Structure 1
Amino acid sequence: MLLLSCPCCGVTAEETEFANGGEAHLKRFGPGSTDAEYEAYMFARKNPRGVHFERWRHAYGCGKWFLMARDTMTLEVYGTYKAQTSAPPEELQAHIKARRPEWEGF
């Protein structure tokens, strides 16, 4: 079981208190986009072996969305950060690079 920390309210709890929202940092396409762009947004997702960035919601807490970096092989959570961030914070990227030197960065 994962232990997650909500960066919005500061609560640390088991993953059952949170809801996964899929891949983070996607470029969203909607009205006015081409069929290919919309199809790629809806159905094309990364499924990496290693570092992955995801959206999570503190469903049974503050209710806010946040982003998380974790390792899909070991389930290690590298860190969480607010959803309004367009890219992972530099300190989180440095932490991941220190733990996983082979990681190529965001």
Structure 2
Amino acid sequence: MQQKVSSIQNSYYLSTVYREVLTSPRHALVLYGWGLGEHDRHLLKRMRGTGIQRVAVSVFRGDQVYCDYAYQVIQDDLGSIHVDFFDSESPGCWIHAMPPPVPGLGQFEI
């Protein structure tokens, strides 16, 4: 963990995010693709006290064990807040959403 914090401090971009962005006030937080392992928890702890009242957590294929674990980690690191879970493969998740076509522009795929 100390090595990770040292790496953050040695990067202007990461240290700015760690100092200013993670500590800025917010009402809600969405976690997509986080394992919530020890390597992630310092980020949650940094956001404690920012006013987060709700957290939405993506879950891959209804993994109840992960839901139970994630709920406990969030309660431990952010305090007693409301946690919602959503299917990471569901339509409407950022990775699956299709933007509406822009009038006058051709559609193409990458």
More helix by share: 2
Q: TM-score, normalised to structure 2's length?
A: 0.24
Q: TM-score, normalised to structure 1's length?
A: 0.25
More strand by share: 1
